[in-house]
Structure formats: C-alpha cells, structure tokens
C-alpha cells in the first residue's frame, strides 16, 4: 500500500464511523462520543474537511456542564445503550445538562489543540470567528479544571477516576486502584466466582480476546469508583472529603499546560483576556512538573498521589509527555530521548510501547500495559519537534506510518510484531495517520 492508498483508507474509516453528528471511536465497540477521541479526530479532519472538523468540536461542546466541565463521554440516545447512560446518574449534579446524557468525569484536555489546529487552516476572518465561537467554552473548561481539581493551588490538577487519564489501566493507575480496599461486595463476587457475570455488562470483552483487557475484578473496582462519586452527586468537595483516590496525573497535566499556551494564542487573536490567576496557576504547574514530578534517581517523570504527594514510580509512556508540554529544559529533554531510543525499554520494532519492555507490568497486548498507540506516538512526535529533535520525530513518524500501513488502522498494536488488537478501523488511529501523512518532512 502506498501513502495515497493509506490516506484514502483512513479517510474511509472516518466517514464510516460518522454518526451524522460526531465520529464514533469504533461503532460497535465505542458508540458514544468521547472527549479526546473527538479532538484527535478533528485534528485529522482539519487536513481535508474543515466543516466536519468544526462540527466534531461543536458537538463535543453540547455536553459541557454548567460549571464548565466537559465530560469524557456524551451518550448516544439509542435504546440499546440505556445501561451505559444510567450507570452514571450524572443528572444528580445540578450542573449536568438537561438535554444530553453524559458521564460525570472528564478526559485529557486536547480541546484547545484541536481548536487551534482547525483555526490555523482557516482564513483570518473565519479563524477569528471560530475562536470567538469556542473561546468562552474553552476558558470555562480550563477554569473549572483549576478551580475544582486543584484545591491546594499547586498548579497540578487531580483526577478521580482512571478513565479521566485516557490511559486507563497504565501501571501507575492500577497501582493506585489496588492500594484501596476492595469493597466487601466485590470480594464476595470474586469468592463466589460471580465476577464472570460482569461480562454481561462489558462491551470490550465481547470484542477482544480475554487477557487483553482488564480483569472482571478490576472492572468491578472501576465501577466502585463511579458508585462512590455518584453517591456524592458529583460534588468535588464531598468526593475529596470522603476519598483519597486522587492522582495528579502527569499526562493530563502536560496536555493542560500545552492547552494553556493554545488558549493564549486564541485570546490574543480575538483580544479577549484570560484571568491572571489562571496564568499564575499554570506557571506554578510548569515548575511543579519539573521539581516535584521528576525523580532524579530513576531519571524520569511520574504521576503523583494527590494526598500523600508520593510519586507513583511505575514507569510508563507518560514520562515523555513533558516534551509535548514544552515545559522542560533541553538537557532533560535529551535524557528523555536517550531513554526513548533505548531498545531495552521503548525502542523496539514498533515504538513506542505504553509501558517499557523491562517493566514487571509489561504485557505485549494488554491494553494500556504494553501496546503501541498512535495517539501517544503523535503526542511524542509533536514534543520531539518542539525540542528541535527533527530526526527523531521523523523516525518515529515513519515507524508509526509503517505500523498502520502494514497492520491496518486498529486501536493498538504489539510493539514487538505490530500485531493489531482491540477495535479495527479505530477513528483516532485513522485521523492521526492522516495528520502524520500531511505533515511528513
Ligand atoms: C478507552 C480508552 C480511552 C478512549 C476510549 C474511547 O476507554 O482508554 O482513552 O478515549 O476508550 O476510545
């Protein structure tokens, strides 16, 4: 397959996955609208269909809550997916929208990146209008993140469910999840082998071979977190008073720092102000990533437990995200790239695995516990370019394109063999492949 055929194939995936309103990540597997999936999809669409790219983003904003939160999922109203909608009971929050059913948590804030990537392709007048249309929602979202999720004003926002990180079951999150007591009813389920019943409610295990996804027990623990959150009616004070399951996630905060620089670009173009406190908070966040989330002993970055302030020293792909944030000194960037290019950890035949080969937690096809994903590669490629590591960026882009060319636009891939896994014809893989093809060289 040559690049032209690859491009056409990826465009076809995005057109097949279109619901008429938004792009489903993969129709059978993931029928709802997801926050960062739609942003990645819009970034791909911006290369050839600006109207649809804008529509993708505006459709995401339908789900915004009255307090500014943008949920990770907006549910389709198909009758067969009632169970997904009802599980969250997000209507218990006074801020949830009346006319949309959504989850009660968020996801990595890729929104500003998508808005600016679309904006850059528009003529100046249309760009200004696009920014005027989206700025209020974007600003409200960023303000919500720091207001609600950074209660100690550290410049690092906290997450309350693994799904908010987008890298759901990466080792740092599983470590935190397992530190908490298993509720009695979940242990009871396990003892009686009833955890298998959970499969009745899971879509992922219907489409993926067992062993590639989280265990039923872990699925119950995820569900238990949701149960605790909804019991507090999605009110953050109540949630934090009652629970210490809160993580200052590295990837999320790096994406947010980058998003703030996009917010500044937008505000300058339209002449609207960003409140000073928000700039100050982001400034603090940049410092804290460098000082508090860096571990000099292992020479890498980690997420941190919000309550104990302990680094969660489980190595993962998140360590490269400060490149994308652009908030580290070139010397540190060099250390990261040396680690990236080490074939014992990350640089196999198809880089970049979500977890290093040398980690005790590495599983070749275990969802976010080893496979290579195109969205994280895209973030790293962008970060390498920011640090003028153009050769490394080009190399990783070539590896990524050959992965998709040889194995199809799947959800994730073995970093050793390229074997595709998860959903076939996955939207963000297709969209970001389109973007990489358009930005080659
Ligand atoms: C899974 C992924 C998440 C993604 C979602 C929809 O939950 O972990 O990152 O947004 O699926 O594709």
DSSP labels for 182-248? PPHHHHHHHHTTGGGGGGGG-SHHHHS-TTSS--HHHHHHHHHHHHHHHHTTT-HHHHHHH----EE
User: Which residue has tokens 């996009």?
Assistant: 262
In the predicted structure, residue 164 carries a pLDDT above the cut 90: yes
| pLDDT over 70 percentage in the chain | 99
pLDDT in tens, 142-158: 999 999 999 999 999 99
User: Which is the closest atom of ligand 1 to the Cα of 427?
Assistant: 12
Residue whose Cα lies nearest atom 3 of ligand 1: it is 166
Does 166 contact ligand 1 (Cβ within 6 A)? yes
Known catalytic membership, residue 168: yes
DSSP state of 180: S
Q: What is the pLDDT of residue 182?
A: 81
pLDDT in tens, 291-327: 999 999 999 999 999 999 999 999 999 999 999 999 9
User: Which is the closest atom of ligand 1 to the Cα of 428?
Assistant: 12
User: Which residue has tokens 């200052």?
Assistant: 248
Does 18 contact ligand 1 (Cβ within 6 A)? no
Q: What is the pLDDT of residue 63?
A: 98
User: Which is the closest atom of ligand 1 to the Cα of 168?
Assistant: 8
pLDDT in tens, 168-225: 999 999 999 998 878 877 777 777 777 677 777 777 877 788 788 888 888 889 999 9
Q: 331 C-alpha vs ligand 1 centroid, how far in Å?
A: 33
Residue whose Cα lies nearest atom 2 of ligand 1: it is 166
Return the closest-CA partner of residue 168 out of 108, 111, 210.
108
The residue-averaged pLDDT of 340-362 equals 97
Structure tokens at 384: 């390498």
More confident residue, 100 or 206: 100
Does 25 contact ligand 1 (Cβ within 6 A)? yes
Q: 296 C-alpha vs ligand 1 centroid, how far in Å?
A: 32
CA 56 to each of CA 136, 254, 281: distance values in angstroms, whole numbers, following the listed order:
17, 23, 29
Q: 26 C-alpha vs ligand 1 centroid, how far in Å?
A: 10
Does 164 contact ligand 1 (Cβ within 6 A)? no
Q: What is the pLDDT of residue 294?
A: 98
Among residues 37, 148, 150, 168, the one annotated as catalytic is 168
**Ligand 1 pocket test, candidate residues 13, 28, 106, 168, most atoms within 8 A of CB:** 168
User: Which residue has tokens 């789900």?
Assistant: 63
In the predicted structure, residue 368 carries a pLDDT above the cut 90: yes
Return the closest-CA partner of residue 24 out of 83, 100, 78, 97.
78
Angle (nearest 5°) at CA 261 between 412 and 380? 25
Which SS3 state, helix, strand or coil, does residue 415 take?
coil
Q: What is the pLDDT of residue 21?
A: 97
- 248: which strand partners? 304
Q: Alpha-carbon dihedral of residues 191, 193, 199, 202, nearest 10 degrees?
A: 0
The residue-averaged pLDDT of 61-71 equals 98
Known catalytic membership, residue 411: yes
- Whether the Cβ atoms of residue 230 and residue 90 lie closer than 8 Å to each other: yes
pLDDT in tens, 240-270: 998 889 999 999 999 999 999 999 999 999 9
Cα separation, 320 vs 250, whole angstroms: 10
Q: Alpha-carbon dihedral of residues 180, 184, 186, 190, nearest 10 degrees?
A: 110
User: Which residue has tokens 């550290």?
Assistant: 154
């Amino acid at each position: 397959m040559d690049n032209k055929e690859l491009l056409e194939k990826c465009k076809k995936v995005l057109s097949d996955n279109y619901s008429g309103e938004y792009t489903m990540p993969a129709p059978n597997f993931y029928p709802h609208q997801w926050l960062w999936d739609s942003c990645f999809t819009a970034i791909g669409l911006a290369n050839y269909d600006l109207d649809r790219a804008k529509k993708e983003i505006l459709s995401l904003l339908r789900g915004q809550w009255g307090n500014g939160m943008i949920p990770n999922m907006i549910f389709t109203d198909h009758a067969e997916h009632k169970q997904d909608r009802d599980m969250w009971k997000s209507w218990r929050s006074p801020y949830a929208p009346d006319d949309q059913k959504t989850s009660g948590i968020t996801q990595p804030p890729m929104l500003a990146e998508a808005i600016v990537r679309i904006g850059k392709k528009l003529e100046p007048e249309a760009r200004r209008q696009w920014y005027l249309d989206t700025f209020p929602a974007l600003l409200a979202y960023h303000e919500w993140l720091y207001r609600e999720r950074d209660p100690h004003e550290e410049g690092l926002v906290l997450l309350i469910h693994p799904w908010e990180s987008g890298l759901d079951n990466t080792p740092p999150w599983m470590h935190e999840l397992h530190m908490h007591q298993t509720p009695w009813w979940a242990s009871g389920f396990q003892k009686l082998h009833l955890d298998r019943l959970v499969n009745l409610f899971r879509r992922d295990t219907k489409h993926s071979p067992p062993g590639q996804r989280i265990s039923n027990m872990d699925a119950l623990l995820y569900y238990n977190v949701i149960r605790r959150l909804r019991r507090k009616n999605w009110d953050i004070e109540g949630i934090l008073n009652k629970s210490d399951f809160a993580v200052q996630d590295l990837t999320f905060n790096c994406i947010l720092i980058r998003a703030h620089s996009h917010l500044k670009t937008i505000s300058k173009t339209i002449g609207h102000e960003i409140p000073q406190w928000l700039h100050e908070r982001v400034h603090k966040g940049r410092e804290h990533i460098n000082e508090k989330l860096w571990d000099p002993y292992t020479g890498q970055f980690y997420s941190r437990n919000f309550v104990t302030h302990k680094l969660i020293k489980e190595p993962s792909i998140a360590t490269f995200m400060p490149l994308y944030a652009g908030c580290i000194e070139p010397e540190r960037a060099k250390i990261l790239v040396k680690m990236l290019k080490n074939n014992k950890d990350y640089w196999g035949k198809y880089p970049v695995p979500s977890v290093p080969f040398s980690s005790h937690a590495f599983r070749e096809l275990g969802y976010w516990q080893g496979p290579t994903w195109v969205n994280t590669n895209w973030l790293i490629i962008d970060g390498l370019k920011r640090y003028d590591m153009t050769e490394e960026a080009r190399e990783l882009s070539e590896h990524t394109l050959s992965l998709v060319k040889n194995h199809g636009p799947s959800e994730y891939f073995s970093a050793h063999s390229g074997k595709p896994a998860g959903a076939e014809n996955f939207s963000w893989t297709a969209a970001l492949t389109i973007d990489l093809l358009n930005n080659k060289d």
